Structure formats: structure tokens, C-alpha cells
Structure 1
Amino acid sequence: MTKIDRRTERLTDALRRAGVRITRQRAALLAVLARAEDHPEAVELHRRAEAQVPGISLSTVYRTLTALEAQGVIQRHQFAGTPARFEHTETAHHDHMIDVDTGEVVEFANDRIERLQAEIAAALGYDIVHHRLELYVRKKARPGTDQG
């Protein structure tokens, strides 16, 4: 069984646990979501699913995403100034860099940052329960290029 097959099965099982019927349209959306390696927004997921199964409504996409999020199998990210984006929860903890010019989302993990955050929390008398780090970035101009 491939990673995509496992994801599809996990998403399908989560919808069933939520009491949501797996229609042809929802199955197409789940397949699209299982293949997504980026952080697509709902409209983009709708576009991808619509290409496979014409007639899927945007409201079906939103309701399905809400049910999957409630089941804990996808995570909603609301990066500043952009529509909500979604990703699988199966990945290890990571942080995000958002390119303010292109909207590209880059995942990264850094042990030093994680240790520093824990040290800061401990120094202030806290344990971290959950955190999210988002860096809003712009690519540096390469030497000898005009930045605009």
C-alpha cells in the first residue's frame, strides 16, 4: 500500500467516523487531498477535484474539510493575508515560512529553535503545550541583480 493509499484510507475512515457519506465527489476530493504535498486552499482543492469529477460543489469541499479537521486528520492554517490552507496531520511537527511575494509555503524543522522555545517557556515558568511558528519571508536578491 502506497503513502497516497494510506492517506486516502485514513481520510475516508475519518469521514465515516464523522458520519459523513462517501459520495463520488467526496471520494475524488479525498484522493486529491491525499496526493497534496503543498498547502492548498479550499478553492484550489475544489479546482483539482472538479477536474476529476465535474459537478462537485465548493460547499461540499468546505463541509468535507471541516469534518476532516474536526476528526484531526487535516490541519487548517490561516497564514496572514491569505485564505485558509490545509495539510495532513500525519507529518512530524514542523514550522512554516511563507513567501510574501509568491505565497509559497516552505516547511522546515530546526532542533535549535525547538530547544530555544522550550528554554524560554521554562525560564518563564511554563511548559509548551502547543506552538506554531510562521516566518513571513522574501527571497534575498542575488548579488548583481536589480531588486526592483
Structure 2
Amino acid sequence: MEQRMDNIKKQLHAHSYKLTPQREATVRVLLENEEDHLSAEDVYLLLKERSPEIGLATVYRTLELLSDLKIIHKINFGDGVARYDLNAEGAERFHHHMVCIQCGSVDEIMEDLLGEVEKKVERNFQFKIYDHQLTFHGVCHRCTENTDKK
């Protein structure tokens, strides 16, 4: 985790920002809960336990800055809540998600499934793509298995 924190600090410095204690605390919460796709409110509640002096507005500003700098991705799974996902170290592209409409779980697909689609869009529409997000909505294997057992 310290290596990732150091890399994030370098990314901030490259854009003339400092890793303030508030930003560091926010990034640590994201790193510690990386698989959970936290909302700003989730981050705030987790931060309150260890840093009660950090306000919700500071969390929002920090998340927006990290999103603007492409350190994290701001994503929406169709429920109206913005969630945040750390950019994978060394990844060229963002990863995809599968959202279960029964239990609400979010699973990740780490491979890029849209290489050929991107080429076609760039060629047919003269549109330069830098990144993409893909979210599948359906029923996860856990819910399917539970239904099959009944």
C-alpha cells in the first residue's frame, strides 16, 4: 500500500498539488476498501472513525480532484450514486463491472473487452477514444446459485 501511496503522491506533485493529511487519509480509505466501490458518503463515514476533523465537503473536493487527475474513476451504476474506483496501477484502460440487480453486488472484469469496438468507432466515426466504461446489469452467479438451490 505504501508504494501505491507514494505513486499517488508523485501524481499529485506532477500536477502541482500536495498530498495533504486530508487527501492522504481519503486515499488510504480508498486503498483499504478498493474492492467496495465506495461513495463519497461511504468514504466520509469511514474517515470519521479515524479523522473526525475531516468534513464531508473536504471528502467531496478530494474525490473530485483525484477523479480529475485520473487517479480514481467516478462511476455510476444506475442508482444515482457516484462511486469511486482506484485506477489500477499500470493499467492502460479502466476495467468493466457487472452489477447484480438482485443483491446489488458489483464484480469486476479486469480484461479489456472492447478493443475491436473501439477500433470500429474510431474508424467509422473519426472519434479518438481515450478510455471507456462498460457496466453489465444482470443476476450474479451467487444469486443464480441460491435460486437453483431452492
Counterpart position of 1:90:
88
| Cα distance in 2 for residues equivalent to 1:123 and 1:26 | 40
Kindly provide the CA deviation profile for residues 36-70 of structure 1, in whole angstroms up to 9, marking residues without a partner as x.
Answer: 22211111111111111123211110000111111
Structure 1 length-normalised TM: 0.75
Q: Give the secondary-structure state (helix, strand or coil) at the position aligned to 1:143.
A: helix
Letter in 1 for 2:105: E
Unaligned runs of 5+ in 1: none
| Cα distance in 1 for residues equivalent to 2:100 and 2:62 | 28
Query: Following TM superposition, where does structure 1 have runs of at least 4 consecutive aligned residues deviating by more than 6 angstroms?
Result: none
Counterpart position of 2:28:
31
Q: Give the secondary-structure state (helix, strand or coil) at the position aligned to 1:98.
A: strand
* 8 A Cα contact 2:98 2:107, kept in partner: yes
Highest CA radius of gyration, 1 or 2? 1
Number of equivalent positions: 140
Counterpart position of 1:11:
8
Counterpart position of 2:148:
143
TM-superposed CA distance for 1:122, in Å, is 7.1
| Cα distance in 2 for residues equivalent to 1:21 and 1:119 | 38
Task: Identify if the C-alpha distance between structure 1 residues 27 and 116 changes in structure 2 by more than 3 Å, giving closer, same or farther.
Answer: closer
* 8 A Cα contact 1:97 1:137, kept in partner: yes
Counterpart position of 2:79:
81
TM-superposed CA distance for 1:85, in Å, is 0.7
Q: Give the aligned CA root-mean-square deviation in angstroms.
A: 2.7
Task: Identify if the C-alpha distance between structure 1 residues 62 and 18 changes in structure 2 by more than 3 Å, giving closer, same or farther.
Answer: farther
| Cα distance in 2 for residues equivalent to 1:118 and 1:26 | 34
| Cα distance in 1 for residues equivalent to 2:81 and 2:47 | 18
Which structure shows the bigger proportion of residues in helix conformation? 2
Counterpart position of 1:53:
51
* 8 A Cα contact 1:28 1:49, kept in partner: yes
| Cα distance in 2 for residues equivalent to 1:118 and 1:27 | 35
Structure 2 length-normalised TM: 0.75
